[in-house]
């Protein structure tokens, strides 16, 4: 008894159909082999064969008999590119103006959510119901309650298919500035939902039996893999994003996510050719903005590529400001624009923007990214104790994020905490074995020489070389 290994390449839809054909012809004998570093392709093993030249030829004919037209696959799977959310008026509890205020808050939430690319909003603020609600993926519901001068607003995201509550939040305000309050609640709801929608959408597609291999689902899978920062999963994320672009060349979000993937690739020191990755990130970011100049996420990622990878800070700031003008509730834009201000040496403004990011999305599953920026701001401000405290927390919550170890280590160097610094240095080298101060010095885009010198002197004091 032996086995036959066959590598299948191309769009995932093609691969799946071929694999299904093999599985039908040879039931119970097929197994998947996941690739390690290969950017394309998947290998299947057919076990338990009596392998002879004739048998191999016969079984290979199963594959050659399958003919698939790429255009038909793309047309069948390209229709879904995002999530549909139905907004209902909040249920008002109390007397007076609560009913009117509940409608106004729901309307503000509708406007704010509609600024997020990939989110389509159904809104019909009438008591008799929401036409089309059944076609939505999720419904946003909630209530408003008043007690004295206090207002409490509770919202929940409900999957329309299963009626499962997927996300919820609660806010409390003094009943003094209603205009500010409704704007702030809407911003917090949008900012809280935005980073969690990819995983919620992927779960929704699985539960509704729509979890095929279309470009949108591939994008969702890639997003979930990027932030794991595990090298194998990270490589798979890059492969999936490339497949999305191959299948839908005008899907702008795929370009911006792949640009961010290259940012992490360089930042983690995983790029085999850093110069090529930096160039590619710039190309992808520019394409994303050209395809959709009103996508706030694409704009702010393009700004970060300009700042972090290309060291063109003055070109980065207008992109971030444009992103915030389009979607002021996008926490990522506050974070990345804050980083650009830190690189420029505007530490007070950098801190203000990062704090705004923290306020908008305190439950963001990818908050480690913004917290890494907060360490840098505290370090450059001379607040070494605060930098070390934040660094300690970030590296415990996300131990694979190398960017957090560097300012944390520099802060420990300035604090002369040799024991802790030695441990942090070892952990950094496990992620970036080739880390060195000269390489770090060349890559960092700080405009003020004294900031870069302060950073690197802390690394030297901590034992880095």
Tens-digit pLDDT profile for residues 114-124: 999 889 998 75
Average pLDDT, the chain: 83
- Span 215-461 CATH architecture: Alpha Horseshoe (1.25)
Region 440-446: mean pLDDT is 94
pLDDT at 92: 84
Which residue pairs from 21-25 have beta carbons closer than 8 angstroms and sit at least 24 positions apart in sequence? 21/62, 21/63, 21/65, 21/66, 22/46, 22/62, 22/63, 25/59, 25/62
pLDDT at 242: 95
pLDDT at 151: 85
- Of 3.30.160, 3.30.70, 2.40.10, 3.40.50, the CATH number of 2-68 is 3.30.70
Query: What is the CATH T-level fold of the domain 83-196, as seen in this structure?
Result: Rossmann fold (3.40.50)
Confidence of residue 133 (pLDDT cuts 50, 70, 90): low
Two tokens, residue 74: 């793309």
pLDDT at 22: 62
pLDDT at 212: 58
pLDDT at 20: 55
Q: Where are the domains of the chain?
A: 2-68, 83-196, 215-461
Q: What is the pLDDT of residues 382-419, one digit of tens each?
A: 999 999 999 999 999 899 999 999 999 999 999 999 99
Whether pLDDT at 74 is above 50: no
Contact 417, 386 (CB under 8 A): no
Q: What is the pLDDT of residues 328-345, one digit of tens each?
A: 999 999 999 999 999 999
Whether pLDDT at 77 is above 60: no
Rg (CA), the chain: 25
- Cα dist from 434 to 115, 254, 265, 355, 388, whole Å: 42, 30, 14, 33, 23
pLDDT at 175: 67
Confidence of residue 51 (pLDDT cuts 50, 70, 90): very low
Q: Which residue has the tokens 């302060």?
A: 454
d(CA 228, CA 234): 7
HSE-up of 374 (CA within 13 Å, CB side)? 24
Buried/exposed 44-67: b ≥16 CB within 10 Å, e otherwise: bebeebeeeeeeeeebeebeeeee
Enclosing H/E stretch for 45: strand 42-49
d(CA 398, CA 404): 9
Q: What is the DSSP string of 234-259?
A: HHHHHHHHHHHHHH-TT-HHHHHHHH
d(CA 465, CA 458): 11
Region 438-451: mean pLDDT is 95
2-68 and 83-196 in the same fold: no
């Amino acid at each position: 008894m032996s086995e036959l290994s066959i590598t299948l390449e191309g769009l995932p839809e093609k691969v799946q159909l071929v694999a299904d054909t093999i599985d039908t012809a040879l039931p119970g004998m097929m197994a998947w082999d996941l690739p390690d570093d290969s950017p394309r392709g998947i290998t299947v093993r057919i076990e338990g064969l009596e392998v002879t030249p004739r048998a191999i030829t016969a079984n290979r004919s199963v594959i050659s008999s399958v003919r698939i037209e790429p255009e038909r696959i793309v047309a069948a799977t390209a229709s879904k590119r995002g999530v549909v959310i139905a907004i209902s008026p909040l249920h008002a509890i109390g007397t007076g103006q609560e009913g009117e205020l509940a409608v106004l808050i729901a309307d503000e939430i509708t406007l704010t959510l509609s600024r997020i690319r990939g989110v389509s909003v159904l809104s019909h603020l009438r008591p008799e119901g929401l036409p089309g609600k059944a076609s939505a993926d999720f419904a946003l519901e909630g209530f408003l309650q008043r007690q004295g001068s206090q207002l409490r607003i509770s919202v929940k995201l409900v999957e329309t298919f299963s009626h499962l509550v997927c996300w919820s939040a609660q806010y409390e305000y003094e009943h003094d500035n209603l205009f500010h309050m409704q704007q702030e609640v809407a911003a917090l709801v949008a900012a809280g939902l935005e980073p969690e929608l990819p995983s919620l959408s992927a779960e929704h597609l699985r539960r509704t039996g729509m979890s095929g291999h279309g470009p949108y689902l591939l994008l969702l899978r890639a997003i979930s893999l990027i932030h794991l920062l595990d090298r194998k999963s990270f490589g798979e994320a890059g492969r999936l994003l490339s497949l999305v672009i191959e299948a839908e060349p005008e899907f702008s979000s795929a370009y911006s996510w792949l640009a961010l993937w290259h940012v992490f690739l360089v930042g983690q020191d995983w790029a085999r050719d850093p110069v090529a990755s930096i160039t590619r990130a710039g190309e992808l970011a520019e394409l994303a903005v050209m395809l959709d100049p009103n996508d706030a996420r694409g704009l702010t990622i393009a700004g970060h590529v300009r700042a972090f990878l290309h060291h063109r800070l003055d070109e980065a700031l207008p992109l971030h400001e444009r992103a915030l003008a389009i979607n002021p509730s996008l926490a990522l834009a506050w974070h990345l624009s804050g980083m650009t201000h830190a690189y420029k040496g505007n530490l007070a403004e950098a801190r203000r923007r990062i704090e705004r990011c923290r306020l908008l999305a305190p439950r963001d599953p990818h908050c480690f990214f913004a917290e890494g920026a907060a360490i840098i701001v505290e370090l450059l401000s001379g607040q070494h104790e605060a930098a070390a405290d934040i660094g300690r927390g970030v590296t415990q919550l996300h131990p694979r994020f190398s960017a957090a170890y560097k300012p944390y280590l520099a802060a420990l160097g300035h604090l002369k905490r040799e024991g802790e610094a030695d441990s942090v240095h070892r952990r950094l080298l496990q992620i970036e074995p080739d880390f060195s101060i000269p390489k770090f010095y060349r890559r960092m885009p700080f405009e003020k020489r004294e900031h870069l010198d302060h950073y690197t002197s802390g690394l030297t004091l901590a034992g880095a070389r």
